[in-house]
Each structure stands twice: as C-alpha cells, then as structure tokens.
Amino acid sequence: MASAYTGNIAQQLLINPISEGADRLCILSHAATPSMASWLLKTYEEQELEGISVELIVTFGEDQAIPSVLENYHNGFKELQKAFRQGPGTVNSFSCSYNTGRAIPKRNSYIWLCGETPVKAFSCSYDFTQQSILRNGSGSITDSNPTSAYSRFEKAVDDSIYCDNSEVEEYVVITETPMPVMADLPENDKNLIKLSLVTERTGEPGTKSGLNWGQRARRNPNEAYIPLPRKIALSGFFPLNKQHFLVVTDDHHALQLRVEQQNDKAITTPASNAQLGEYFRNRLGLANGAQVTRADLEAYGRSDVSFYKIDDEQYYMDFSVAGGRRRRNG
C-alpha cells in the first residue's frame, strides 16, 4: 500500500523506526556511496543512537552482466567497514556487500529489524546516496511486508560478496576514477579551487584555529580544519548542511570530509577532528600534536591546498609541492 510521505526522507527511511525499537537496517540499493554511509553513521553518533547495525548490499543495474564499482567508492566502503566492523566495544556497525548473482529489480528496499524480527520495510526510488536521499525532493516510497522484504534481502546475501573480501575482484570490476593532472588544468577551471592554510592578516596558520585548532587545553592537539572563505562556502562548490564528501588525495589516501562550524567556515574530518591534523602533520614531516608554523609550510614548499570537484560526493585533494605552483584562487 502506497504511503503519502512528507518531510525529511532520511528521517523516515533511516531514523524514525529506531524510536519503535528497531536496531538493524538492511538495505538493497541500486546505487550507493560511502559518503551516504558515513553521513548516516555520524548522524547516529550525534543523535546518541547506539546499537544500530547497518547492512548494505549494492545491487547495481539490471543490465550489468558484471558489476562495476568505482575504485574511490570501493576503497571508501572498505575503510568504513574496517572502522565500523561489529565487535566488542562497537557502538554502531556497518557492512557493505556487492550483489554478484541474479539481477535484482532497481526498486530499492530499506528493511528494519528488531533483533532478528523484521518490523518495518520500505520499497522506494531513493538510492542510498546523499544526492538521492538528502537533496532530491521527489521520489516515491511504498510500505512493504517486512517478512517478505527481509526474505528477499537474505536471498541477496547468498549472492553477494563483502567489499573487503580478498576475492572480490574476481566477481566485481573495480574501475579506476580518472584523477586530474593539476598542472594541465586551466587556472579558471570551475571545478578547481585553492584554499589557504595561513591567515591573510598574519601569513601564519592560526595559533588556535585551522591546522592548530586543537592547540588548546583539554583538546587533542592534532585537531584541525581547513579554513573555508565565506564566498566559496556560498558558491555551491562544496556540499553544506553537514553532508559528507569523499576526498582522494594526491598521495592516495581516502578521507571523508564535511563543511561545518558557524558560517560554514571549516572543512573537517567528521569521524575525528584529529584525523585531518594527523594527515597534514604527516605530510609536513611533523610529530603528532606539533604546532604547525609558517616555517613548517615553507620548508615543505606549500601553504595552500587544492580541491578538484569530480562530482557532488567525490573530490580530489592535492597538497603536492608541484600542485602548489599554480596561482591561488581561494
């Protein structure tokens, strides 16, 4: 029976059933992104919702004889599954599998269980992506029989392989995402910006902000953010409203980032504010927790960082010295 839903789709599909006792979410989705999974797990943390298990199966298109996954997304899913693997001390858990068996109809399923008992299920047009769930205002949701829906999920489990399985590439094609060659990009490329890591007033990193955000009492000294000028925050280049985006770096790391703080002034790593600071200190050859100075940046050869937008949930971040030789535009 179709339901006329209004309001926040994410709230309806991914959060409301928890208040009714549900604690396990099983998802069959035609398309999915690690940024959506990262956003959901962080939302549970911020709303103090614990003991939730999220089990995702990416079903792909019905016309795909051999499933194909972008390498960046594949690595993002593996990182999340590693970080949120169910076990002792785990607050919430996450797993991601790829369907490698019979094609599953494109209609997506979100099935909630209380323990082992199916209690709520939705059939809908919303893929498990931020673009679909958080930004798309149109779509359809239908209530499904929870027992029947979960039975379909269990059959899909039998035809699926975990994203971190050592044999996954025998069943799924991992497709490389072309990364831009920064030196070849025109200076006015609309998908490219540079953000300064030093303040305009002093020419130094902030003493208790930016890369030195954590340099205060009772804080992790590695905590850091990339300063985001207001004009760029308002430009639409980065997603706002605490949406996550996957960044692949020039030295082949994958980071989940988001824009936050008052006036959207900071780009952070939501899993831990210290993660970004650790990354930059490692690139600069500094010890964990060290104060970052202008002299450190000059010794490295760069005081800004470049972002290239691949799509709405995927970016390339360049902190190479060669990449810093281009004109700053942020």
Residue-by-residue pLDDT tens, the chain, 330 positions? 344 334 489 999 999 999 999 999 999 999 999 999 999 999 999 999 999 999 999 998 666 567 889 999 999 999 999 999 876 667 899 999 999 987 676 789 999 999 999 999 999 999 999 999 998 667 889 999 999 999 999 999 999 999 999 999 999 999 988 888 887 888 788 999 999 999 988 999 999 999 999 999 889 999 999 999 999 999 999 999 999 999 999 998 999 999 999 999 999 999 999 999 999 999 999 999 999 999 999 999 999 999 999 988 999 999 999 877 654 444
| Same domain for 222 and 117 | no
Q: What is the pLDDT of residues 175-202, one digit of tens each?
A: 988 888 887 888 788 999 999 999 988 9
Give the whole-angstrom CA distance, residue 224 versus residue 232. Answer: 19
| Same domain for 19 and 133 | yes
Which range of residues forms the domain containing residue 223?
Answer: 182-325
In a domain, 99, yes or no: yes
Q: 141, 175, 209: which is the final residue of a domain?
A: 175
Give the whole-angstrom CA distance, residue 205 versus residue 160. Answer: 48
- pLDDT at residue 87, rounded to an integer: 66
| Same domain for 134 and 72 | yes
In a domain, 204, yes or no: yes
| Same domain for 255 and 113 | no
In a domain, 3, yes or no: no
| Same domain for 203 and 162 | no
- pLDDT at residue 137, rounded to an integer: 67
The pTM (predicted TM-score) of the whole model is 0.89
| Same domain for 153 and 18 | yes
Strands (DSSP E) found in 100-219? 108-114, 117-124, 141-143, 160-162, 173-175, 192-196
Give the whole-angstrom CA distance, residue 48 versus residue 269. Answer: 19
Token reading at 161: 């392989």
- pLDDT at residue 64, rounded to an integer: 59
User: 3-class SS at 143?
Assistant: strand
Domain of 298, CATH number, reads: 2.40.330
| Same domain for 266 and 205 | yes
Q: What is the pLDDT of residues 74-107, one digit of tens each?
A: 999 999 999 998 766 678 999 999 999 876 767 8
| Same domain for 112 and 42 | yes
- pLDDT at residue 59, rounded to an integer: 92
Q: 175, 201, 222: which is the final residue of a domain?
A: 175
Strands (DSSP E) found in the chain? 24-29, 53-58, 68-70, 93-99, 108-114, 117-124, 141-143, 160-162, 173-175, 192-196, 226-227, 244-249, 254-260, 266-268, 304-311, 314-318
| Same domain for 19 and 144 | yes
Q: What is the dihedral of CA 247, 251, 253, 256, to 10 degrees?
A: -20
Domain count, the chain: 2
Torsion 26-30-34-35 (CA) sign: negative
Q: At what angle do helices 71-83 and 34-46 cross, to 10 degrees?
A: 30
| Same domain for 204 and 143 | no
Domain of 119, CATH number, reads: 3.30.870.10
In a domain, 4, yes or no: no
Q: How many CB atoms lie within 10 A of CB 178?
A: 8
Contact of 112 with 53, CB cutoff 8 Å: no
- pLDDT at residue 127, rounded to an integer: 94
| Same domain for 291 and 199 | yes
Q: 175, 204, 238: which is the final residue of a domain?
A: 175
| Same domain for 166 and 51 | yes
In a domain, 1, yes or no: no
What percentage of the chain exceeds 90 in pLDDT?
78
Q: How many CB atoms lie within 10 A of CB 12?
A: 19
Give the whole-angstrom CA distance, residue 60 versus residue 31. Answer: 6
